[in-house]
Chain A
Amino acid sequence: MGAGKAFVSSDCKMTNYIFILLGAVLVNNVVLVRILGLCPFMGVSKKLETALGMGAATTFVLTLGCGTSFVIDHWLLLPNDLEYLRTLSFIVTIAAIVQLTELVIQKTSPVLHQVLGIYLPLITTNCAVLGIPLLNISLRHNFMESLLFGFGSSVGFSLALVLFAGLRERLEGAEIPTYFRGNPIALITGGLMSLAFMGFAGLDKFR
């Protein structure tokens, strides 16, 4: 992590980008390893379709949010020594992006809006969406890396969400002891998934 600056030559840059992308998707999966964005992970994982919709919406917003927050940080906050306003300004920006996205999608593509539906506004409260831009800053990513890291993380989020939703759909048909039905068994399953994803830590290069 943060090794981006060390690479100078262009072909190394490509490798670096791939490392960032894969690292964000698998090794440092935002939900299962960083334990960020658990509310949608538990909340919108009951059905595969909605999980896919949420994943797509988050991917869109998070990638856009990473780019915008990088611009704000570098052009507005850093020149004015206002680093302490990062959290505040990022939240405001992301909320605005989410709102804007929703309005635009609703008008331009009603079908997509129906798929993403009520999940778009929910993204505002997804801590991963704030966490990733902040991580971008602390990892000293440049603009391209920020975008890739944001994209990778949200793909990782979608992956975890979709896998989990698939499991939960199946759990619905399973014979589970009464007291474990619903959220308890989902939490246990989520925990096991988290353990499984720790296995990717073995991909040392991507860390």
Chain B
Amino acid sequence: MIAAILVMALGAVVLGAALGYASIKFKVEGDPLVEKIDAILPQTQCGQCGFPGCKPYAEAIAKGEADINCCPPGGEEGIRKLADLLGREFKPLSEEHGVEKPKSVAFIDENTCIGCTLCMQACPVDAIVGAAKQMHTIVPKLCTGCELCLEPCPVDCITMVPIPETVANWKWKYPTFAIKKVTA
């Protein structure tokens, strides 16, 4: 009986000491997971997830503080990729964070714009060009469609315009066959 206790205690002490030593000796800083999650997120920096940007949301997911279905711009596919990466089950997009919309870019009605620079301050990717008391405009190529500039505009001159389908961005459709009625 004594021997058993001694042996187990000895084992516990030796293994505990080894692990304790290793955890100090082989300590690693940083979390590569955040980078991987951040790479999947759409980088709109829209804050619809409740975090101030894509990176903070990625950090929250990595820490387990946020769910994977809070990103409307990433859509269903983004959630699937996150689920794949983290080995979690797929969940539909959480409704409180918004709905998946067609990709759009912001457009400033230049006749109404008063040049208040509020939208420029709100834009997370510096996609708005302008100066105080000068007309502003949005560089469509850089706009992520985060809608953050809509709220601050005092004259409501910003609208979201869906990106039109052109010959350049047109995609081949999934092959389908029309089902025909067989005449008897």
Contacts and interface: CB of A to CB of B under 8 A. Distances in A.
Task: State yes or no: do A and B touch (Cβ within 8 Å).
Answer: yes
Interface of A: 47, 72, 76-77, 80-82, 85, 88-89, 92-93, 96, 99-100, 103-104, 106-108, 110, 114, 118
Contacts of B12: 92
Most buried by A among B12, B15, B18, B84: B15
Interface of B: 3-4, 7-8, 11-12, 15, 18-19, 22-23, 25-28, 32, 84, 87
Contacts, number: 49
Nearest to A72: B11
A107 B28 CA distance: 6
Contacts of B84: 47
Top 8 A-B residue pairs of the complex, sorted by shortest distance between their CB atoms: A107-B26, A96-B15, A103-B26, A103-B22, A80-B3, A106-B28, A100-B22, A82-B4
A96 B16 CA distance: 8
Contact of B22 (A82, A85, A89, A104): A104
Contact of B26 (A85, A93, A104): A104
B80 to A, nearest CB: 12
Contacts of A81: 3
A77 B28 contact: no
8 contacts: A80-B3, A81-B3, A93-B11, A99-B22, A100-B19, A103-B23, A103-B26, A110-B32
B103 to A, nearest CB: 27
Given A85-B8, A96-B15, A104-B26, 19 more contacts: A72-B11, A80-B7, A81-B3, A82-B3, A89-B7, A89-B8, A92-B11, A92-B15, A93-B11, A96-B18, A99-B19, A99-B22, A100-B18, A100-B22, A103-B23, A103-B26, A107-B25, A108-B26, A110-B32
Nearest to A89: B11
B182 to A, nearest CB: 22
A83 to B, nearest CB: 11
A100 B20 CA distance: 9
Nearest to B12: A92
Contacts of A85: 4, 7-8
Contacts of A104: 22, 26
Interface secondary structure of A, over-half rule:
helix
Contact of A88 (B8, B22, B26): B8
Contacts of A82: 3-4, 7
Nearest to B24: A103
Nearest to A114: B32
B15 A76 contact: no
Contacts of A89: 7-8, 11
Nearest to A84: B4
A72 B32 CA distance: 37
Contacts of A100: 18-19, 22
B13 to A, nearest CB: 12
A47 B22 CA distance: 31
A103 B7 CA distance: 25
A13 to B, nearest CB: 32
A120 to B, nearest CB: 13
B184 to A, nearest CB: 28
A172 B114 CA distance: 55
B171 to A, nearest CB: 20
Contact of B7 (A77, A99, A110, A114): A77
A65 to B, nearest CB: 13
